[in-house]
Structure 1
Amino acid sequence: MSSITFRKIIFWPHLVSGVIAGIVIGIMSLTGAAIAFESELVDWADSANRRVQVPSADAPRLSVDELLARVKEARPKAQPSGVTVYPEPDSAVLVLTGRAEGVYVNPYTGEVREQGAKGWRSFFHLMEEWHRWLGAQGDNRPVGKAITGVSNAAFLFLAISGLYLWWPRKWTMKTVRPVLWFRGGLKGKARDFNWHNTIGFWALPVLIVLTATGMVISYKWASDLVFKLAGTEPPVAQGPAASAPVKVPTPPEGAKPIGLEPLFAEARKQVPAWETITVRLGGGQRPNPGPQAQGPQAQGPQGQAPRGEGPGPRAQGPQAQGPGPQGPQAVTLAIREQGGWPLFAAAQVSFDPFTGQVLRRETFADYNTGRKARTWMRFLHTGEALGWVGQLLAAIASLGGVLLVWTGFALSWRRFFPSRRPSATAQPETATAEPETAA
């Protein structure tokens, strides 16, 4: 089979896939770029609301349990689902009351304050809904998720096949220059061809990472494949494997939980250079959580559920410390360390709720190879694994994806509905480029 025939065999599925999935790919790319810096923008817009007046340098702070009581008193219908404490003296304590809702509590006075940046939060919530479910609500979300999953797979195929179609048959300055960098003075098909190939080439490495990790998030078979390739048994649930339950010693009859404050105090000793300490509680509503993510440390802006995947297994708090059908459950606190690596990692310390004894301390280094790889996949998808540099690359590549859709549609339109008047602006070297490479 000649290379020309094989190129055509690759070209036509490339073109058809782009035409069919192009609109959804464009939506996912645009919304992906919009939410790339969600955490940073929300934190910046809400910085004033998160700050409190420190009465004095040695002012006593209310206990975490007292702060939860103040929230329940001020919001009787609220069901606290998590608490996040910050080391700065002038930082309020965040108490989540759902998957994406929460309030700030003054640690000195107990004053309950609403979160700010409502406009930004609503915007990012809308962008995430369109990115994950095409804006579908309720029972229609599985349909939206299926469409975005298939479209993401098509985007991965387009990226890989596009590299083959881009690859010049002869590596000379004349053949490489039109598809390696932007050229001025072009119009119509020649311009779209140049833009499509140039953007595709430079954005290709990042797009392959984004789409391949998106496949792992969308499909359990892809997630299981990561574990199998790492030589690890895949978990039953999709997403990074949860840790084995921590066995709590049977408490004496009549023993009562000691509360959260002693556990937070011990957590601070476990990681002196801590950045945040978070506990997930049993309350709050989490509709349509989607695939399970990494546990308490997988959080979005100000302790909210992470982007890309839903919240992980709940770390049990005081609402789930009773005997229950399987006996008492440990309280697990996620502790993020300043300057820790990987950037998304956190130590998870499980406590006996009756004595405060540390039952298990687990860090990212303790995960098996499959769990490490799967967790990296989740944060590579948003670029957060590499900090602001990774997020910026993800945002730029996503915007490149929007332009690839635009130029791909334009080239397809001209292929099926060619203009009768040849373009006078086409350059000789562009005119001689094979049309099969312009998809």
Structure 2
Amino acid sequence: MSRTFRNILFWMHLVSGVIAGVVIAIMSFTGAAIAFKPQLLAWAESEVRRVQPPTPDAPRLPVDELVARVRAARPEGQPSGVTVYPEPGSTVMVSLGRTGVAYVNPYTGEVLAAGDGGWRGFFHVMEEWHRWLGAKGDNTPVGKAITGACNAAFLFLGLSGLYLWWPRKWTWRTVRPSLWFRLNIRGKARDWNWHNVIGFWCLPILVILTASGMVISYRWASNLIFTLAGEKPPAAQGPAAPPSVTVPEPPAGAKPLGLDALLARAQQQVPAHESVTLRLGGGGGGGRPQGPQGAQGPQGAQGPRGEQGGQRGGGGPGGNEARAKGPQPVNFAIREQGGWPLFASAQLVFDPFTGEVLRREGFSDYTPGRQMRTWMRFLHTGEALGWGGQLVAAIASLGGVLLVWTGFALSWRRFFPRRKPAASSSGAEPSAEPSGEAEGEAVG
């Protein structure tokens, strides 16, 4: 019975790999390509992210003026957030939703870069292929469904490969072939060795990447996180949003405070901050779109410097939402220096008329289910553990590409074996290639 189950599982493993292999390779390659997106963008855009203050005490232009300059320079974009950094020589980043970002000199109002070409264009293409195979328009849901299904297949390949590889007896002789590459072999034996070694070392990380990818891709998987935590799943997929805040009715004739006054109050709430992001009404989310390997920050947290993951909605004084629905609160996301988790940020909601803090929420205030769901999003990219986690995720993703290659090679050799030359009269040397049964024990 055990051997029958093993044979069935082996063929399921092989067929799943053949069907989903190409898409898995694309997702793995593009995942590795965007693993260090924040760091590479910081390097590529370093010149436009820094300016020289005219004088040490030079005044800065109002936030409203900076946003107006961006609107004039980028009329096709809808500003959705403004990120301010504490260093005097840092530019101000204005997020433009899906359009990209713009950097503005806070002293002169000069728009320094559109932020949507070069490296940003490259990452945009990689993310589109990673999430929905580069599909456009109405075909995007189809591409997303395919990548979601193939990600699930990758998780199955990893778990089934572990079962197929699991030695009946744990000895050095049975485990050693999976620990390191053998350089003196070729053909099927080489492919089998590479498949096992890469699977052995990369499997734990690939399971985390694919399992967290399923949580991002499927609502039932996201809801399962909350159910396991003993909580009711949120109405929408993703981390549960905090309850909306109602602004008290202002006195007759009261005028809202300026954005600069509210920004100053937000900065005072967290003196040792890395960045403060003001969410503007309209424009949707921030600069980080949703989906695997770069999903939107569930609580509006920013990624490494310059990468905003703003929360939907929000509002600012004078925005379209405010005029349509009455007074709206002003929302800030503040990254604290040395905060933990690395992706966490404090969410502050202000009364636009009095400057009173209506709600303050940090990661520790989240419910366990919401914390787990947020961890899943950042574990998927490796950002949860900083650049070290990103490096491990990138290496494992490249390992996924090689697993597909060696898996295809083993399948090809199984279905289309080469004829062995006839043995000479002096006798043929024994083959170093693994038997069919040993091949079936490859790690996926």
Aligned to 2:432: 427
Aligned to 1:367: 366
Aligned to 2:162: 163
CA deviations over 1:37-87 (Å, ceiling 9, x no partner): 001001111001111111111111122122223333444554321100011
Gap change, CA 1:162 and 1:54, over 3 Å in 2: same
CA deviations over 1:369-405 (Å, ceiling 9, x no partner): 1000000000000000000111001000000000000
Using the TM superposition, give the Cα deviation of residue 10 of structure 1 relative to its aligned residue in structure 2, in angstroms. 1.3
CA deviations over 1:250-272 (Å, ceiling 9, x no partner): 01223222121111101111111
Gap change, CA 1:414 and 1:321, over 3 Å in 2: closer
C-alpha distance in 2 between matches for 1:159 and 1:424: 35
Gap change, CA 1:182 and 1:285, over 3 Å in 2: same
Tell me, yes or no, if the aligned pair for 1:14 and 1:161 is still in contact at 8 Å. yes
- SS of the residue 2:42 aligns to: helix
1:437 to 432, 435, 441: 441
- Whichever residue aligns with residue 394 of structure 2, its letter is A
Q: Percent identity?
A: 66
- Whichever residue aligns with residue 32 of structure 2, its letter is A
- SS of the residue 2:196 aligns to: helix
Using the TM superposition, give the Cα deviation of residue 436 of structure 1 relative to its aligned residue in structure 2, in angstroms. 2.1
Mean alpha-carbon deviation: is it higher for 274-283 or for 355-364? 274-283
Aligned to 1:112: 111
CA deviations over 1:230-288 (Å, ceiling 9, x no partner): 11111000001111101210012232221211111011111111001002212336799
Return 5+ residue gaps in structure 2 as ranges. Answer: 422-427
Tell me, yes or no, if the aligned pair for 1:351 and 1:358 is still in contact at 8 Å. yes
C-alpha distance in 2 between matches for 1:77 and 1:196: 48
Aligned to 2:189: 190
Aligned to 2:424: none
Return 5+ residue gaps in structure 1 as ranges. Answer: 306-310
Mean alpha-carbon deviation: is it higher for 7-16 or for 251-260? 251-260
Gap change, CA 1:74 and 1:121, over 3 Å in 2: closer
CA deviations over 1:300-325 (Å, ceiling 9, x no partner): 762344xxxxx632322231563634
Tell me, yes or no, if the aligned pair for 1:239 and 1:294 is still in contact at 8 Å. yes
C-alpha distance in 2 between matches for 1:189 and 1:345: 47
Gap change, CA 1:359 and 1:116, over 3 Å in 2: closer
CA deviations over 1:172-208 (Å, ceiling 9, x no partner): 2322222222111110100000000110011010000
When normalised by structure 1's length, the TM-score is 0.93
Tell me, yes or no, if the aligned pair for 2:238 and 2:298 is still in contact at 8 Å. yes
The structure 1 segments of at least 4 consecutive aligned residues displaced by more than 3 Å after TM superposition are: 72-78, 283-293, 298-301, 422-426, 430-433
C-alpha distance in 2 between matches for 1:293 and 1:55: 35
Using the TM superposition, give the Cα deviation of residue 98 of structure 1 relative to its aligned residue in structure 2, in angstroms. 2.6
- SS of the residue 2:313 aligns to: coil
Aligned to 1:30: 29
- SS of the residue 1:144 aligns to: helix
Tell me, yes or no, if the aligned pair for 1:347 and 1:363 is still in contact at 8 Å. yes
- Whichever residue aligns with residue 194 of structure 1, its letter is N
Tell me, yes or no, if the aligned pair for 2:100 and 2:116 is still in contact at 8 Å. no
Aligned to 2:240: 241
CA deviations over 1:341-378 (Å, ceiling 9, x no partner): 00000000000011111111100000001000000000
| Superposed counterparts of 1:15-414, under 5 Å | 15-76=14-75, 78-115=77-114, 118-284=117-283, 293-299=297-303, 302-305=306-309, 312-318=311-317, 319-320=319-320, 322=322, 324-325=324-325, 327-414=326-413
Tell me, yes or no, if the aligned pair for 1:83 and 1:93 is still in contact at 8 Å. yes
Aligned Cα root-mean-square deviation (Å): 2.2
- SS of the residue 1:302 aligns to: coil
Gap change, CA 1:296 and 1:314, over 3 Å in 2: farther
